[in-house]
Structure 1
């Protein structure tokens, strides 16, 4: 069904009770504009060391341009040591570590202010007087306003269509009541999706910390192993390389698995953030009928996103590499068969009880 506009909003310089409120909101909006994309800051907002704010995407674009050789987040290869770029507001040089822009602190205060601003703007548009709003007119009955909602056809319509037109046998409800009900439902959906996104972001951060711990533990165990083998003669060299390879393989397997999870959840998070942005834009729609047409589609997408947000996590202790332990106190003829042992103390007790030499087996646990 098509609609036509019957009225226009008041001019920019018009006076009235809402004029000063509009000016205040306009001044606030100017303070919430990103200096790069010239749009409202998009979540998450990062705060630079010089105290200026940028959208994370804008900051990452500047950082990538200034550091073209720096490898992007989520790459399965080794990440570069860091990089630097200049703040677009004050030209202050920002130095980042190996985590790049994702190591910057989020400005939750600015994000909350933006959420409040969007809610206030939406509320202001809803509370505008009828003469200040654009009124949609029925395309089939040009003199009739769109004032009811057909529940059977799920479309806004006018009273004449209900009495004489194609919706005369349909169930209808006041347009305002359906508008408020679906707006409340969409608002609740946004809140739930935002909370879910924050939860996913926390899980991703935890997984990134696990990756760093796996790398640190792997490096520590390799150094420990190398110190033992460096004190032995050439008979140990070939075996040493094999054991180093075992540690490296497990580390690479764990990192590959973790980074795969991070990429998967990151893709889900980006899609959810985009859906939130679309929902917020829909919340700003002042026309009830147009809002209802887009809200239903967004709510369906939110439901699908919620069903797909099952978060897979590593088990407790997944990052541990402490089971790679060697015992170098045994006789030289045992060195050719030496392997990682799960517990040095337990193996020594077994030797004392049995009086026999035992072969150390590799034990891998997740």
Structure 2
């Protein structure tokens, strides 16, 4: 999961802004209509009560992120219905400098994806109607719910930087791993079924056998930063572990897949409910290489297979995730 540095100097205080919790349906994308992220965040901080407008985050100034509102609480950025159903709204500040924009745009896209995954919202752009979850532009809100805004694509991304709705949708689905130029993007994808040891002790992590016993001396092999081809995910001692040898397994919580899953299925994968019933149409949500927040405590065995929890009563077959065994 990506890590982001968030500047909280303009964050609203405990008695500022709305205290109403949101439903987790949308991440809404805006643009500020003027230059600079810090000055916009400062404006929201000082004028939220008089202007009746603010969002959770403002991004700009070379990829910096300034927090204003609190995640999961109503912000005032897109009308009552959208505000009440959006745990995060994000503003992109304008710039005329290409290098600055490239950093801003990559952070804007990747941070939106990150927040969507945190709240169990699919990384799809402007798909469906007002009852369909996803990342939405302010223009989509105007077209489908209320308002007359056209940001951020028609007002800024397209006329200034030639990034249209289709390109933004692709980037929201896949992430931005490099620079942008004329609307094209580059991205880095993880190797299929390769997991990397991460956040373990400096002495290395222990490997386990299928009986739930530590393999002596294995910590000298499984060091932070080492990558391992996985032959599947299994429950051992009640925890998900990746099979990386004949009878050797490493805990998922000590890999780059800790707390998340990454879909490994070219055509997407359907989710199932807790009773093993396929949820039709969800393959368009759980698309190849999309990432989803999934705690180890949400692992469930369904039809003798390991499934990962990705939303309320929605599970994905572990076989179709990075490290799960699908080739």
TM-score, normalised to structure 1, is 0.25
Answer 1 or 2: which has greater helix percent.
1
Mark the structure with the bigger radius of gyration. 1
TM-score, normalised to structure 2, is 0.27
Answer 1 or 2: which has greater strand percent.
2
